[in-house]
Structure 1
């Protein structure tokens, strides 16, 4: 019989094969001979156990012999008592693509978006003039997930390839509320110092036979109610208060009272003196927990949680800075797309006008067919460039919409209303370098990392010592056959007995403990290895900090070079554009009088379009270079008037904070208590930038 998943009982009828039956008969014959030997008179004194053993051996041998020799039936050969039924719960695979049972709400920007504009859908939508500052405000207001530019085409955006790694407005709060090792927030770190209340109420009973005359069954019943309150302190000490009560009843004739109450009320304290002692250690590593020491390390304290929060804020600031840089680049890319489109329109109109004139001259016989075809070739070339420029305009506008969180098409067309900077900018090298080494967020983040590792190194060195704890405890004991009543008389003295609660105040029953606890792994190998590991991490972090400073100096150098190169190239292309326009005017005048071929005019018109496009490309590159310079010097957010600030709390939170501040203000300080730990944070940059090379302001500009 076999039970299937649906609860039906399946009856399998198997037939023994002839060869199997013959082998079973041989086994039975051998077992019968063994049974005859086992039942000889010499071994029949205690026949119960051998009889049971032989019977079990014979049955198991026959059973396993049949199982090993039987052939497994295929599903088609089996017949069931209830007939054939369609199989509904069978699957011929183990893994398949499935979808979560989640019905999410479609993003608002997607649900209200219209069909996007394209070369096949050219619509005359309303033009919306926008400024760069307006686009930045929209991005900071709309986006909960910080969008950045993506390279690589479809599917390469970070929100698709690495959704857990993208920056968001929730990251700081996620870090603040973290509870995992290495990523604990302030609340989780402070929770180690919360008082812990534990309580238990249990009842028990036991009836047991004992080897005692006159007492066939010993009965014991009891109950226990235990309560404790423990707390860890910043010095590394742990203190606890206990209240344990028990009630026991027994029918033992040796007991004075059949039912008694016992109670203990006491307090214990343990203070580390060597390893794991002191406020400096606890604020970095947290309270000592031997059970998780090798897992948690020395990074579970309040100070490290605070630094982790600052690291999270630095990551968020980097993400916001990158997003603003991408928005500014996308804004100028859209400006360039409009300029290139206008240039393409002008070039196409010029080519069309030239072709019309060529066609007219061809009809009157004053122009060769080849020259008319050349004009037509130029016409379709400019038409193709015009279409590609229009498509690039559509894509640039869509990219700007994506970065600021707008729908792909809301019935309006974004068009930049600001003109790019065309004035010459000559950055000061040393001033830019000082700004970069002072205000770059990456350096601040790495300095936080170095500070965190230095604090952990000091805490790890504290553990390279034996564990020596001072312990003390005092308990008040209580005993009585009642918990609170004193009406029961003592059978020996005839006086009322003390209750368990009353005996605590009158019987002077107590216990106390004072002493030291010492433990030390011989060699302190793990503690020394941990300290050495943090020494290496600090060395690496300082080396990374120096490498970052070199990289920032390189970024500033490249940015200054790009600013100079873009401005110089823009001026050259402007001169080229003016020359090309003047050339077209002269050539068109010669063409009109019939002294010039059409080929030179077409080439001159193409040169004007190329020069104009190159000029605007360099102007946009110049503005992008200025943006990169502000980013390299750490002034991009300040340049765009963007500042990060904590959001508003509940009004009750401000009231609670004010009450605590007033309480601290009116409190009396303990002159023997050092309550101010060394500061490891500052609202302003610490230190100065040392540049050994003197600044050079007067230099000769070499002509190219």
Structure 2
């Protein structure tokens, strides 16, 4: 094969092999390495303009405003069960919303469905990144050189004072790290040398070599355990192996489960907040109607001069008091609401009314339009059935299933692996390097009487073995790595113990809350019935023309309204308390019929 043909063939092969790893990325060349800046200029034009929205969101209806009972009665209602509400929420949840505007205050920390794939695809610490450290690596080199020199001494010029030379070198290598820490390489070296040295066997010659090289760490950096934990080329205190990445992925999955649990808890809280708002509205509406009748009765008596004006004024004051309460019960205020970590991890019922405010909060949480011409209305009723929990069972469930404890236990397992990896740095670095070479030399590269043909005879074979030792005197960094890893392990174990104590404490508190609210339902109902009986008795006596204490009548009306509201409040407190028990023992997703599918990668 002529020299020019061999050189062209090797160059083509070299370029082809270089392009093996990125055939599908050619379309990015103008963007990434070209001088065409149209793409980035278009981006910066928007940046300089203040980053305006690419498109405006679809126009939504303005918020519904209801001022009177008649307007409220004319509204279209959309009845929703709790299960249907949760289903809508889950279908509209790209981001885990809350009512604290975290998506505006801290958008980088907001939970979303992107958390798991982002963790897996992280190019630095993700699971795929850890696996990529063991991928095979291809390396190629082409070098062309022409030398034209004069030497004062013929010895340095190969027997001539004027030395001319053409040199080409081509290297192709495939290397790979193994999980035992070894680095294996197969290397092809081709070089062409044409010069005027008088002692040459050939005026121009091709030399081919095949290298098989292996470098195996025998102490530090070696072994399956260390490399799966720390990864190849690790440093003390920095562990990013496949097993650590897998644990980090599982922690991310547990965090996502925790975020989904908190989100569902918020939705359930908002649902029962809205239920109470409607029941509170009913109580305020009944009270307003009763007080209006009383006011009109005393107003008629005052006009006929049978009663003093004081009774009419007081009854009028009570009417407007109930009317203002009714207006608040319809519209609501931007006041405190039931939310997670409000006195309890799952939220303590706030007992704040206001249908429209509560309805807007629920709409925001479940991801539907702020107004669609109707009002959401809860269809389900709180359960009044007695509930009993077996403490031994639910405490075990809480310790086993709470996602916070799962995350901490996973951190402890990661720390335990880091302690194992850190101990590797207490050993010296001793590497065994072995190289096996085969050679071929002739005036042509390929064909008969060529370098490839000479290589194929296996006549020229070489072997080399080396031991390399590196020993830090005192192993200070290694000892620091071990002590630091053990300290972090001890800290995480102490945190786990405190977390378990906290969760059992909160679980006991929520169980006690269930029993308290359950007993309160019966008491509140009896109070409501008693207040109703007292009012009906006074009104019956008044209708029969019997003398009735004016103060008692107004007080009885207030007592009925307050006891009615308190009864429904106890019902919602009981429903929230039962939900909070499921929250504390880590079964809220299961009890809500929600299953999270974790797409774990294979290893």
Normalising by the smaller structure, the TM-score range is 0.7 to 0.9
> Which of 352, 367, 371 lines up with 2:311 in the alignment?
371
TM-score normalized by the length of structure 1 = 0.71
**Which range moved further: 507-516 or 534-543?**
507-516
Question: How much does 1:201 deviate?
Answer: 1.6
Question: How much does 1:215 deviate?
Answer: 6.7
Is contact 1:264–1:475 with CA below 8 Å preserved after alignment? yes
Q: Which residue of 2 aligns with 1:475?
A: 437
Q: Which residue of 1 aligns with 2:592?
A: 640
> Residues 507 and 578 from structure 1, CA distance in 2 versus in 1: closer, same or farther, beyond 3 angstroms?
closer
1:541 matched to 2:496: no
Q: Deviations over 1:473-501 (max 9, x none)?
A: 10112223322355xxxxxxxxxxx5322
Structure having greater relative contact order (Cα 8 Å, sep ≥ 6): 2
Question: How much does 1:205 deviate?
Answer: 2.5
Residues of 2 paired with 1:388 and 1:506: CA distance? 98
Is contact 1:236–1:282 with CA below 8 Å preserved after alignment? yes
After TM superposition, list the pairs within 5 Å mapping 1:167-316 onto structure 2. Answer: 167-180=111-124, 184-211=125-152, 218-253=163-198, 255-287=200-232, 289=233, 293-294=235-236, 297=237, 299-316=239-256
> Which of 466, 469, 478 lines up with 2:428 in the alignment?
466
Residues of 2 paired with 1:626 and 1:99: CA distance? 52
Q: Which residue of 1 aligns with 2:19?
A: none
Is contact 2:98–2:365 with CA below 8 Å preserved after alignment? yes
Question: How much does 1:99 deviate?
Answer: 5.2
The secondary structure found in structure 1 opposite 2:437 is: strand
Question: How much does 1:506 deviate?
Answer: 4.1
After TM superposition, list the pairs within 5 Å mapping 1:492-641 onto structure 2. Answer: 498-506=449-457, 508-592=459-543, 593-641=545-593
The secondary structure found in structure 2 opposite 1:463 is: helix
Residues of 1 paired with 2:511 and 2:116: CA distance? 34
> Which of 279, 282, 287 lines up with 1:342 in the alignment?
282
After TM superposition, list the pairs within 5 Å mapping 1:34-113 onto structure 2. Answer: 100-101=50-51, 103-106=53-56, 111=58, 113=60
CA RMSD of aligned residues (A): 2.4
Residues of 2 paired with 1:215 and 1:348: CA distance? 120
> Residues 374 and 540 from structure 1, CA distance in 2 versus in 1: closer, same or farther, beyond 3 angstroms?
same
1:134 matched to 2:96: no
The secondary structure found in structure 1 opposite 2:387 is: coil
Residues of 2 paired with 1:507 and 1:164: CA distance? 62
Is contact 1:221–1:250 with CA below 8 Å preserved after alignment? yes
Is contact 1:460–1:531 with CA below 8 Å preserved after alignment? yes
1:397 matched to 2:356: no
Residues of 1 paired with 2:416 and 2:56: CA distance? 48
Question: How much does 1:125 deviate?
Answer: 3.6
Would you say how many aligned residue pairs link Structure 1 and Structure 2?
A: 527
> Residues 648 and 137 from structure 1, CA distance in 2 versus in 1: closer, same or farther, beyond 3 angstroms?
farther
1:318 matched to 2:258: yes
Residues of 1 paired with 2:314 and 2:48: CA distance? 60
**Which range moved further: 303-312 or 113-122?**
113-122
Q: Deviations over 1:545-586 (max 9, x none)?
A: 111110111111110121122222232222211111111122
Residues of 2 paired with 1:377 and 1:603: CA distance? 13
Q: Which residue of 2 aligns with 1:689?
A: none
Residues of 2 paired with 1:402 and 1:99: CA distance? 31
Residues of 2 paired with 1:481 and 1:502: CA distance? 11
Is contact 1:186–1:302 with CA below 8 Å preserved after alignment? yes
Residues of 2 paired with 1:164 and 1:241: CA distance? 45
Give 5+ residue unaligned stretches, structure 1.
1-96, 151-156, 487-497, 650-656, 658-676, 678-704
Q: Deviations over 1:54-111 (max 9, x none)?
A: xxxxxxxxxxxxxxxxxxxxxxxxxxxxxxxxxxxxxxxxxxx96544543455xxx2
The secondary structure found in structure 1 opposite 2:371 is: coil
Q: Which residue of 1 aligns with 2:267?
A: 327
Residues of 2 paired with 1:161 and 1:548: CA distance? 27
Question: How much does 1:467 deviate?
Answer: 1.3
> Residues 137 and 647 from structure 1, CA distance in 2 versus in 1: closer, same or farther, beyond 3 angstroms?
farther
Give 5+ residue unaligned stretches, structure 2.
1-46, 332-353
Residues of 2 paired with 1:355 and 1:232: CA distance? 91
Is contact 1:298–1:459 with CA below 8 Å preserved after alignment? no
Q: Which residue of 2 aligns with 1:427?
A: 389
1:164 matched to 2:104: no
Residues of 2 paired with 1:300 and 1:435: CA distance? 32
Is contact 2:253–2:598 with CA below 8 Å preserved after alignment? no
Residues of 2 paired with 1:314 and 1:172: CA distance? 10
TM-score normalized by the length of structure 2 = 0.83
Is contact 2:64–2:373 with CA below 8 Å preserved after alignment? no
Q: Between Structure 1 and Structure 2, whose CA radius of gyration is higher?
A: 1
Q: Deviations over 1:109-135 (max 9, x none)?
A: xx2531111245957442111100111
